[in-house]
Structure 1
């Protein structure tokens, strides 16, 4: 049939950051090919209510409308799996898996509607790979959207092959907990075990990683939020491995819109303050949607900032009040955790805020450096805007991201590479980064002109990758060919 519509089912992980990246990828695909239509199946996180960040964000998208992108909010699971505080990742995966029946029903209903397009494939988030089985039931290919980087994808697949070769999980756990370096194919330089993903440091975590890598291998292809010029070695090493699905670098996929997209009110007071600051004079400290510190560490950061003498914007968040929520909140009065007189001494040269409109701040001409938790989206944003980073990773794969940026690519400076925070037992981490370490990192961040030059060059390359003639533009074209094969 002429002008047949190719319907693609998108299934993001239930988190604002993952959903935002997924929506940006969906926009990119429908803008590139008029034959594509996308239905996003939204899994609400446990306990999500009307007015929650995800609900607000999806409702705003549905109300404003995106041509050829529609949204279906799946029913909430009546009896969600019991959350194990000691293994939140497996609990999250079990929760997602419990929605397979709802995905199956939604797709069957969509296919039965008169005039609906032919479902040609699923695009599933890296944590929704169980949905590959549902795609198989409909006899359509499943593509994984890997929202981290190519080097970490290579590490994940390498760990599985290492387990298979040794045939002893315990050996890999012991290796991961030792103080040594390992040659990982997706990294050029030996990778220290101290920055390994924490999941591979326990037997239960390693079991999850093996399952995760197995499911990735079942995909038709893997889309990675990166670009060839940034991760040349990692992408080439993955492409040379014929035992894994094709890898499409499609990034940087970024959501640069501010305002209430994260369910937060947008106050442009910080932007007005930046307007009055000199070019590239301000260091911006922001630690992601789950980043917070106890009072002891907050005071060290404050002292480090004062010692450095640099202007700053600091997104200071209050730690969660209990372990049932990982989300920090804003202080009503931040002076309760800051050194006495700090706000008065830094008045005019520093600004302490709560939640930050990160992209808007990074894009401001006055910002010259970024102290970051090294979430991959944050690092891509900093490169897009040409702002060098000082690394302070906390959880997940962030230590590996920090290692790649500092040691592999020379695009960041180190405050810490191996700092780790247990989000579910914050008191377990007794490490305190000292004011002297923080001051030293900030000085190198703001004064290393060679890294600044390299980051500016990579900024140009990141933007060039996404436009016609660019590496990611071509990669997205190949992906669309895969999706529309057989559609007239």
Structure 2
């Protein structure tokens, strides 16, 4: 009887992290019938769209979801300190993971635990894996460039004892392994430069990366050759682009809403529409919405704009759809642009990016969104909001040449004043993005990356081969 190799996946609670983890789990299961995978779910008290997604998945052979959530009273106790909330949230689930392992069927004669696959924010769970004498791996939902930057700054702080907070408001340009171009300090993720609990937590997480047996990165060799060449220990497995093509139940649109969007796109000329969407967390106040509307109207390009209502200050969760979007748009905007534009709420992003009518994407530069856009050959105009998105924007524009800049140093909440991106900046970026003709190098490079992206995942491709090496390594853990 063939021995089954059991893997335990522990993703972060956000939809972007969970969905990517499920997709890589499905790839492993499809490649090798010896694997069984349990994905452990840690629910947050606020809805980030994960429950509907899990429920939407039809039963997949050898894959199970296990709810290990702690009670709301325990989570409520962490709420008083937002800085330490997330690390306390992860730590509080360790006993639940142990209970699952002790009560599961790994003791069967034909089933052996082969390892943990952790989200980067769940690295404290390596302690549990060590107790059960199994290796840990990370599935990184960010880029290889971000990983290279993390290792570099961890070395600066913990090996060379450099206080990296000195770069917080610096105009310095830094030489960072994995980047061809000098990297502006002002684009650094705030967690690498802000003093405080989050700063310490970030570096502690990165230090623990080195304890992993391997790191899977959602990227591919042709997209990030320089960053991948700069990484060696632990072993790196570029296994992407891992993209969720079906979107399923995690989308917030009814079938009729999605159908209406696709029908509108069907009526537009090829590559004529600029799509604006800022991720599951992205939203703007009225003053900024007004600047976007002016830019779209003056650009003259067809557009599809995902526009959502910000949460009230102090609340945690996802933006919602407007009941009446006209209340936040310039007077008469909908009527004046009715022939060329459509304003929507939640967007079925993959369905839109894969549509022949879409010719450009104004994006917050989340890594999942970048991979989806490039998979379909759609160039990007950069408007990052938070986390490592400014670094992603820099990579798109300066390192890869598949993006244009609207802003690269925009940070939500970084300044005491409200930072407004002007209509002129937005219009200029859209015009560059949507320019036709043979001289549009960005459009050509995006199309080339589409071919390379598709090829990487097929048999004989670089990511296909890398996943094969990972599977061999995982199987070696039980042999």
What TM-score results when the alignment is normalised by the length of structure 1?
0.93
**Which of 92, 106, 110 is 2:104 aligned to?**
110
2:211 aligned residue: 218
Separation of aligned partners in 2, 1:326 and 1:84: 17
**Which of 374, 379, 387 is 1:388 aligned to?**
379
2:41 aligned residue: 42
Contact 2:220-2:238 at 8 Å conserved across structures: yes
Separation of aligned partners in 2, 1:411 and 1:439: 18
Query: C-alpha displacement at 1:167, in angstroms?
Result: 1.6
Separation of aligned partners in 2, 1:474 and 1:374: 27
2:338 aligned residue: 347
Alignment of 1:39-438 (within 5 A): 39-47=38-46, 53-61=49-57, 64-77=58-71, 78-80=73-75, 81-83=77-79, 87=83, 90-111=84-105, 114=108, 117-169=111-163, 172-204=164-196, 205-239=198-232, 244-266=233-255, 267=257, 268-422=259-413, 428-438=416-426
- Higher alpha-carbon deviation: 90-99 or 3-12: 90-99
Separation of aligned partners in 2, 1:284 and 1:135: 43
Contact 2:141-2:218 at 8 Å conserved across structures: yes
The count of corresponding residues between Structure 1 and Structure 2 is 471
Query: C-alpha displacement at 1:428, in angstroms?
Result: 3.9
After superposition, the Cα gap between the structure-2 partners of 1:332 and 1:115, relative to the gap in structure 1 and judged at 3 Å, is farther
Query: C-alpha displacement at 1:17, in angstroms?
Result: 1.1
- Over the residues paired in the alignment, what is the CA RMSD in angstroms? 1.7
After superposition, the Cα gap between the structure-2 partners of 1:412 and 1:105, relative to the gap in structure 1 and judged at 3 Å, is same
Separation of aligned partners in 1, 2:368 and 2:351: 14
Separation of aligned partners in 2, 1:197 and 1:301: 25
Separation of aligned partners in 2, 1:316 and 1:178: 33
Separation of aligned partners in 2, 1:421 and 1:433: 12
SS of the aligned residue for 1:128 comes to: helix
After superposition, the Cα gap between the structure-2 partners of 1:3 and 1:370, relative to the gap in structure 1 and judged at 3 Å, is same
- The answer for unaligned runs of 5 or more in structure 2 is none
1:3 aligned residue: 2
Separation of aligned partners in 1, 2:230 and 2:151: 12
Contact 1:38-1:68 at 8 Å conserved across structures: yes
Contact 2:156-2:162 at 8 Å conserved across structures: no
Cα deviations by residue, 1:374-430 (Å, 9 ceiling, x for unpaired): 0000000000000000000000000000000101111100000000103xx9x8452
Separation of aligned partners in 1, 2:344 and 2:46: 28
Query: C-alpha displacement at 1:164, in angstroms?
Result: 2.4
2:22 aligned residue: 23
SS of the aligned residue for 1:299 comes to: helix
Contact 1:54-1:263 at 8 Å conserved across structures: no
Contact 2:146-2:388 at 8 Å conserved across structures: yes
Query: C-alpha displacement at 1:208, in angstroms?
Result: 2.0
Query: C-alpha displacement at 1:111, in angstroms?
Result: 4.0
Separation of aligned partners in 2, 1:353 and 1:47: 24
Query: C-alpha displacement at 1:210, in angstroms?
Result: 1.2
What TM-score results when the alignment is normalised by the length of structure 2?
0.95
Query: C-alpha displacement at 1:86, in angstroms?
Result: 5.5
Cα deviations by residue, 1:116-169 (Å, 9 ceiling, x for unpaired): 621110101111111111100000000001100000001011111011244243
Query: C-alpha displacement at 1:299, in angstroms?
Result: 0.3
Contact 2:41-2:67 at 8 Å conserved across structures: yes
Query: C-alpha displacement at 1:264, in angstroms?
Result: 4.2
Query: C-alpha displacement at 1:209, in angstroms?
Result: 2.1
After superposition, the Cα gap between the structure-2 partners of 1:4 and 1:222, relative to the gap in structure 1 and judged at 3 Å, is same
